[in-house]
Amino acid sequence: MAMGLGSSFLASTSHMLTLSFDDGFKKSFYRIAEIYEQYGLHACLNVIASGHLPSFQAPDDYITSEILGDFEDWNKLQSRGHEIMPHTWKHANLTRLPFEEATALIDKISAAYIKFVTDAKTESLSCKIAEFLIASAKIFFVD
């Protein structure tokens, strides 16, 4: 099983819980991965794609480039079976941006994932994510 749990557990379970972890804090993401691996589980890790770049502008005092990982980290964690998902390009609240700017940021993060994440499924996954995010964004931008 992908979750590392026996089929008898799944057969007797009526509810499932999924946790995802945001932003890409390098130290805590590696620790989360270790904990999940102890139980045969895989974590869902959502990363800020530009967080490691010198041009990254911290949105607050808590999310700084010094404590965020980079695509080398994300590829290592992905190779261990963890899911790496986009959590925006620069941690912007897309619902507060003009639609064109929001969709441009979605396109930018999709391109980064296609270029830097080594999973062979990334291109189609990123395209689906971009399509979903753009469709979702349209809901927030309706007059």
Domains, in order of start, for the chain: 19-140 (3.20.20.370)
User: Residue 14: its pLDDT value, please?
Assistant: 67
Q: Is the pLDDT of residue 6 over 90?
A: no
User: Residue 120: its pLDDT value, please?
Assistant: 41
The beta strands (E) that lie in the chain are given as 20-21, 44-47, 83-86
* 3 state SS of 68: strand
* 3 state SS of 14: coil
User: Residue 93: its pLDDT value, please?
Assistant: 86
Higher pLDDT, 122 or 115: 115
Cβ-contact 26, 33 below 8 angstroms: no
- For residues 72-88, give the mean pLDDT: 89
* 3 state SS of 20: strand
- For residues 80-100, give the mean pLDDT: 87
Q: Tokens 């990363």 belong to which residue?
A: 47
Pick from 37, 36, 33: nearest CA to 24:
33
User: Residue 29: its pLDDT value, please?
Assistant: 94
Running DSSP on this structure, what letter comes out for residue 61? S
Token pair recorded at residue 38: 């102890």
pTM of the entire structure?
0.72
